[in-house]
Amino acid sequence: MSRDYYEGQRGSCKLRRGRGLVFGLCEGLGRWIGIAPWIFRVIFIIMMFSWGFFQTVGVYVLASILIPSAY
C-alpha cells in the first residue's frame, strides 16, 4: 500500500490488528502510527536476533491477543 494510505490514517483510528501476514499486528501498528508495516517487521526481526527468539515471539503473540482485530 502507498505511504499516503498510512499517513491519512494517523491519529484518526484506534489501534487494531489488520489482515497482515501473521496476525496482522505489523499492519495494524503501521496504520495506527502512520508508517509502512515492513518497518515493524524489520524491528521484530532485529528483536529476534538481539533479544531472543522465544521472548520476541511471546511478546508478538501476547500483543496479538490483547489488540483487537479490525475485522
Q: Say what percent of the chain tops pLDDT 70.
A: 82
**Prediction pTM value:** 0.69
Report how far residue 39's alpha carbon sits from residue 27's, in angstroms, rounded to the nearest whole number. Answer: 10
**Mean pLDDT, range 47-66, rounded to an integer:** 91
Report how far residue 48's alpha carbon sits from residue 29's, in angstroms, rounded to the nearest whole number. Answer: 18
The pLDDT confidence band at residue 58, using thresholds 50, 70 and 90, is: very high
Angle between helix axes 53-66 and 25-33 (nearest 10 degrees) is 70
Reported as type and span, the H/E element at residue 65 is helix 53-66
